[in-house]
C-alpha cells in the first residue's frame, strides 16, 4: 500500500507522487522523476531537509546530529531517511535549473567496465558510501587528471538511478585518457571528478513534442534525458534519432528500441551514414539530422535536443531553424570534439561545454 505525497514547492505548481511504505520520500520522488534536493542520501549532510505540513512519517535512520528533537517537533524531516505513514503534504524546494545544484569534487571507484563496441567503453563509477551526486539528466562531469587536465563526459544515467554513474567513452587513437581507459584502467581503480556541469537538460516547463538527435556517443546524455522522462510517465511525444557511420556505432540500439516498445509516446529511428560494410540494413540512410528533417519538415511547434560533433550540431541548428521553422530558443545542443592530443576545447552550441574529449 502506498501513500500520496503532495509537494508544495517554494514557488510554482504543486506536484504529487506515490510513496511506498518501504521507501524513503526522496527515493519515491526521484523514482517518479521529481527532483528534490539531496546530497549524501544517508542523513548526514542535511541537504534534503524539508517540512511535513500534514500527515505522519517515520524518521527512519535520521541522525540526531543532523535533525534534533526540536527540529522533529517543529515538523522538519530528512526526506532521504523519512518514510510516509499516511498521505502527506510536504514543503521542499524543487531543483529546476543547473544553477541550483552545487558543483562538487569527488572520488569514485570504477565499478564495471563494459566494451559496448570495438571503440566504445561503458564505465560505471561508484561513489563513496555516504555520497551521492545530484544532477540534471543530460549534464556532464569532468574527470580530473594529473597536471590539471580535465576530460568531460556526459552522464548516461538518469538522476533517479544514481547507484552508479555511467559514462560512454569512445577510443581516440593516441589519446592519453582514452588509451588508458581501453588498455590499463581496471575495475576498482579510483578516479576523481568535478561536477555536475552544463546546461544541456530537458526543459520540463514545456508541453511541446520533442526531437532528440544523437550522433555516436552523443547518445549518452540523450539516454539520460529519455530515462528521466520515462520515470515521469511521458506525456510529450518524443522521437529519437540516433546516427552512426556503421552498425557498431549504435552500440546500445536495443535500449531505445525497448523504450519505443514500452511507451506509446516514444518513437525511435536509427540512421546509418555508410552502409557499404553493413549487410541487410533496412533502416534509414544518410545524415541523422537530415532524416529528422524528412519526417518533420515543420518544427515550429517542437523542441529539439541535439548531441554530437560540432559539425553535426552546427548543421542541425542551421537547417532546423532556417528550413524547418524551429524557433531558435527551442534548440538545445551539446557538442563534442575528439582530438588525439586530448587538449581540444570545442566551442559548444547554445553555450554548452563540449560533451566528450578524447
DSSP assignments along 248-287, one per residue: GGSTTTHHHHHHHHH-TTEEEEEEES--TT-TT--SEES-
Looking at domain 99-197, its CATH superfamily turns out to be Translation factors (2.40.30.10)
If we measure between CA atoms, which residue out of 232, 51, 268 comes closest to residue 137? 232
Backbone phi, then psi, for 176, in 5-degree steps? -60, -50
State the pLDDT confidence band at 277, using cuts at 50, 70 and 90: low
Q: How many CB atoms lie within 10 A of CB 130?
A: 12
Whole-angstrom Cα distance, residue 140 to residue 184? 23
**Residue 290 confidence (pLDDT):** 96
Q: Considering the entire predicted model, what is its pTM?
A: 0.74
With H, G, I as helix, E, B as strand and everything else as coil, classify residue 39. coil
* The pLDDT of residue 330: 92
Alpha carbons 61 and 228: distance in angstroms, whole number: 28
Looking at the predicted structure, is the pLDDT value of residue 66 above 90?
no
Q: What is the pLDDT of residue 37?
A: 75
Any idea of the CA torsion for 116, 179, 351, 272, to the nearest 10 degrees? -40
pLDDT of 45 = 63
- In the CATH hierarchy, which top-level class contains the domain 2-94? alpha beta
Mean pLDDT for 38-58 is 81
Vertex 265: Cα angle to 262 and 269 (nearest 5): 80
Question: Average pLDDT, stretch 43-66?
Answer: 87
C-alpha to C-alpha distance for 11 and 74, rounded to whole angstroms: 22
Task: Give me the CATH code for the 210-351 domain, please.
Answer: 3.40.50.80
| pLDDT at position 168 | 97
Domain extent listing, the chain: 2-94, 99-197, 210-351
Query: What confidence score (pLDDT) does residue 339 get?
Result: 46
Give the pLDDT score at 43.
Answer: 82
If you average pLDDT over each of 117-126, 138-147, 172-181, 224-233, which comes out highest?
117-126
- What are 188-220's pLDDT values in tens digits? 999 999 999 887 888 888 899 999 999 999 999
Per-residue pLDDT, 156? 97
Q: What mean pLDDT comes out for the span 264-290? A: 87
282-341 per-position pLDDT tens digit: 889 999 999 999 999 999 999 999 998 888 888 898 899 999 999 988 998 887 655 444
Amino acid at each position: 500500500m502506498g501513500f500520496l505525497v503532495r509537494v508544495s514547492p517554494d514557488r510554482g505548481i504543486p506536484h504529487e507522487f506515490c510513496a511506498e511504505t518501504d521507501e524513503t520520500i526522496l527515493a519515491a520522488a526521484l523514482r517518479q522523476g521529481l527532483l528534490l534536493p539531496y546530497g549524501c542520501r544517508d542523513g548526514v549532510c542535511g541537504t534534503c531537509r524539508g517540512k511535513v505540513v500534514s500527515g505522519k512519517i517515520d524518521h527512519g535512520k535520521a541522525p540526531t546530529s543532523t535533525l534534533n528533537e526540536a527540529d522533529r517537533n517543529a515538523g522538519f524531516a530528512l526526506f532521504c531517511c523519512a518514510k510516509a505513514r499516511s498521505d502527506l503534504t510536504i514543503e521542499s524546494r524543487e531543483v529546476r535549473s543547473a544553477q541550483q545544484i552545487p558543483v562538487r569534487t569527488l572520488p569514485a571507484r570504477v565499478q564495471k567496465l563494459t566494451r559496448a563496441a570495438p571503440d566504445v567503453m561503458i564505465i560505471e563509477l561508484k561513489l563513496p558510501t555516504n555520497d551521492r551526486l545530484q544532477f540534471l539528466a543530460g549534464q556532464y562531469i569532468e574527470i580530473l587528471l594529473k597536471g590539471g587536465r580535465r576530460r568531460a563526459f556526459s552522464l548516461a544515467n538518469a538522476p533517479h538511478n544514481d547507484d552508479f554513474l555511467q559514462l560512454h567513452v569512445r577510443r581516440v587513437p593516441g589519446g592519453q585518457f582514452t588509451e588508458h581507459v581501453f588498455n590499463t584502467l581496471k575495475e576498482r581503480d579510483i578516479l576523481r571528478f568535478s561536477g555536475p556541469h552544463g546546461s544541456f537538460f530537458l526543459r520540463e516547463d514545456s508541453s511541446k513534442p520533442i526531437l532528440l538527435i544523437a550522433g555516436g556517443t552523443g547518445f549518452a546524455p540523450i539516454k539520460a534525458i529519455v530515462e528521466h522522462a520515462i520515470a515521469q510517465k511521458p506525456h510529450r511525444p518524443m522521437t529519437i534519432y540516433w546516427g552512426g557511420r556503421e552498425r557498431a556505432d549504435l552500440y546500445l540500439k536495443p535500449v531505445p528500441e525497448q523504450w519505443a516498445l514500452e511507451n506509446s509516446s516514444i518513437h525511435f529511428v536509427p540512421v546509418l551514414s555508410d552502409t557499404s560494410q553493413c549487410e541487410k540494413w533496412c533502416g534509414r540512410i544518410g545524415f541523422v539530422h537530415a532524416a529528422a528533417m524528412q519526417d518533420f519538415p515543420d518544427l515550429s511547434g517542437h523542441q529539439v535536443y541535439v548531441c554530437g560533433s560540432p559539425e553535426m550540431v552546427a548543421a542541425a541548428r542551421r537547417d532546423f531553424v532556417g528550413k524547418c521553422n524551429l524557433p531558435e530558443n527551442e534548440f538545445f545542443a551539446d557538442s563534442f570534439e575528439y582530438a588525439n592530443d586530448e587538449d581540444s576545447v570545442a566551442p559548444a552550441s547554445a553555450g554548452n561545454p563540449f560533451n566528450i574529449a578524447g
